[in-house]
Amino acid sequence: MSENQYGFKYDEYGNTREILVYSSGVAVHSISYVNKGTAFSLAERKRLGLEAALPPAVRSMEHQVENSLIKVNSKDKPLEKFIYLRSLFDRNVVLAHALIKSDIENLMGIIYTPTVALAVQQYSSMFRQANGLHFYPGNIDQAENILRRYLHRDIRVAVVTDNQGILGIGDQGAGGIAICLGKLMLYTQGAGVAPWHCLPVSLDVGTDNEALLADNEYLGWRHHRLKGDEYLDLIGRFAHAFRNVFPNALCQWEDFSKQNAFAIRDSYLHDLISFNDDIQGTGAITLAGILTAMRIKLERLEDQVFLVHGAGAGGIGIAEQIGIALVEAGLTEQEAKDRIFTLDSRGVVTSDRDLEEYKYKFAKDKEQFTWLKDSSKISLTEAVKEARVTVLIGTSGQGGCFTREVIEAVLANTDRPVIMPLSNPTSMTEALPEDIYKWTDGRALVATGSPFEPVTHNGVTHSIGQCNNVFVFPGVGLGVLGSGAREVLPQFFTAAAHAVSSCVSKAEMENGCLVPPVNSLKEVSRKVALAVAMSAVASGVSRPCVFSTFQHEGDEARMAELLRKMRWDPEYLPIVAM
């Protein structure tokens, strides 16, 4: 649908109040942001030339949601539910979001992890309708002109991937854009960023997935991945074009390989309003769980010793965020680093090894830690004992590596060990919550990366909180947009972590839950957004919100009002026929 067939009218808070339509008749149906389906009123049908184009009865949105929920629940397989939701989104965006909102606890797992991984893998074979933008060497020279076609949508958030590090399943070529679509749907659900302000982007630099290259159905750029200067040049061309066209929009880097993830995040820290969710979002939600554990234990963060088993983007991102929080708590940078150990497939990471650049920050000096004389022969259990670890975090993707021996070693260091097996999916989790509670006689504080049912041990039921980045990135995005932050600072994620932790109630903590339930996403995102926005003000990177004429002036109450009014909710808007 051409961009000159519809537009948006905003209020003083930058929220859409009317949709302007410059076409009529059946063409209105093909504008997914405008289409109301059977909910078009009789007056709207007459005004928009839809008379006789729909059956006579008019359904309310509530009726539509009820009907759609029955349909999606009638599907036997998660992927079938995904296809139904995406098809609904492609024809009626508002109804799709209203449906998801009505049962977010169950449907979030359909539009995003774990089901989205199946959609990524089958992207080409089940392709139905184009969504977002696909840049590749054949069109990157036109990136700025292509992006300008979306000016009418006032893009505020873009999720951008190079498709290489997808959800533990690796290089998935063009299919990675499904991740971006899912993340942006969660921006809308959590932060209330209207779907027309969201843009999914695939930077298709090729794929080294030989199965895809040999697949006749594959829709991506059929070449091996660009590397070196060619790769960096394509990324740079996109970043330059995006900054020129949408200088005030947020760019979230998503699912890059671990080395590229750090390099690209750091390269564009000051040139774009950007962050990497796999690094910083993962770090923030993990820190939130640890902060809640400290509230339960009545202990200080700076008194803990941390071991992150798995030194990829997520693992080092967690270490980074813990380090930032420790410094904010009063430790020096070196004191903070000394309390954080990382471990990869070759053992505890030490500075004498030939390492990827991003691992050096937390690499240990063998002269300082003499027990690391031969780090490759130090087992996980020995590392826990020697370092006196009290918080054990898993991002290794090695299912079952947190054995009874390992867990009991942590228990020997603290009365209430914090154990966080975060690898996805469930088959890759480092330990099952049921086993952790059994091995610690119910004393452990547990959060996981995958969803788990509550565990009952010795008559006590423990809720298993899921460390899901969805509690972080939507609120960070709204806070950045509302404050007009010129860049995304590391302390924003510490503020976000404290906000998420504050949303865990006393009753939930008594049940051992370290993060909030998914059905509180909207409230959590609101608190995260306010914390991030006020952090931006305190850090001096805030400016008047360019998306609103209402000015917060740095006052927390006015900022809260702005953020509340900026939120879009899935309700049908008045349509003005032009």
CATH number of the domain at 175, please.
Answer: 3.40.50.10380
426 domain-assigned: yes
For the chain, give the percent of residues with pLDDT over 70: 99
CA gap 261, 296 in Å, rounded: 34
What's the number of domains the chain is made of?
A: 3
Of 358 and 552, the structure prediction assigns the larger pLDDT to 358
Of 214 and 354, the structure prediction assigns the larger pLDDT to 214
Give me the mean pLDDT over the 380-386 stretch. 96
45 domain-assigned: no
pLDDT for 562 beyond 50: yes
Q: Which of residues 439, 467, 495 is at a domain's end?
A: 467
Backbone angle region of 349, left / alpha / beta, with phi > 0 → left and psi within -120 to 50 → alpha:
beta
81 and 220 assigned to the same domain: yes
Mean pLDDT for all residues in the chain = 94
The per-residue DSSP string of 355-424 comes to --GGGGGGPBPTTTSGGGTTGGG--HHHHHHHHT-SEEEE-S--TT-S-HHHHHHHHTT-SS-EEEE--S
Catalytic residue among 36, 183, 258, 337: 183
CA gap 322, 302 in Å, rounded: 10
Q: Which of residues 435, 467, 499 is at a domain's end?
A: 467
183 is catalytic: yes
pLDDT tens figures, 292-331? 999 999 999 999 999 999 998 899 999 999 999 999 999 9
DSSP state of 40: -
CA gap 444, 411 in Å, rounded: 8
The pair phi, psi for residue 388, each rounded to 5°, is: 60, 55
CATH number assigned to the domain comprising residue 291: 3.40.50.720
Give me the mean pLDDT over the 523-549 stretch. 95
289 and 208 assigned to the same domain: no
The per-residue DSSP string of 87-147 comes to HHHHH-HHHHHHHHHHTHHHHHHHHSTTHHHHHHHTTTTT--S--SEEE-TTTGGGHHHHH
Give me the mean pLDDT over the 382-404 stretch. 96
Local confidence band at 373 (pLDDT 50, 70, 90 cut-offs): confident
169 domain-assigned: yes
For the chain, give the percent of residues with pLDDT over 90: 87
**Residue whose tokens read 């995304």:** 488
pLDDT for 173 beyond 90: yes
- Which range, of 123-127, 187-191, 560-564, averages the lowest pLDDT? 123-127
286 and 426 assigned to the same domain: yes
462 and 504 assigned to the same domain: no
Contacts of 553 (CB under 8 A, 6+ apart): none
The pair phi, psi for residue 17, each rounded to 5°, is: -115, -25
360 is catalytic: no
CA gap 104, 503 in Å, rounded: 18
pLDDT tens figures, 222-236? 999 999 999 999 999
Q: What is the pTM of this model?
A: 0.95
Q: Which domain holds residue 134?
A: 60-256
128 and 179 assigned to the same domain: yes
The pair phi, psi for residue 559, each rounded to 5°, is: -65, -45
For position 1, what pLDDT does the model report? 42
DSSP state of 466: E
306 and 369 assigned to the same domain: yes
pLDDT for 181 beyond 50: yes
436 and 495 assigned to the same domain: no
For position 364, what pLDDT does the model report? 94
Q: Which of residues 448, 467, 486 is at a domain's end?
A: 467
Give me the mean pLDDT over the 265-292 stretch. 96
For position 554, what pLDDT does the model report? 76
Give me the mean pLDDT over the 512-520 stretch. 94
Catalytic residue among 33, 84, 112, 358: 112
460 and 544 assigned to the same domain: no
251 and 287 assigned to the same domain: no
145 and 115 assigned to the same domain: yes
For position 3, what pLDDT does the model report? 58
For position 426, what pLDDT does the model report? 82
Local confidence band at 450 (pLDDT 50, 70, 90 cut-offs): confident
361 and 476 assigned to the same domain: no
pLDDT for 332 beyond 90: yes
CA gap 258, 235 in Å, rounded: 16
Of 94 and 28, the structure prediction assigns the larger pLDDT to 94
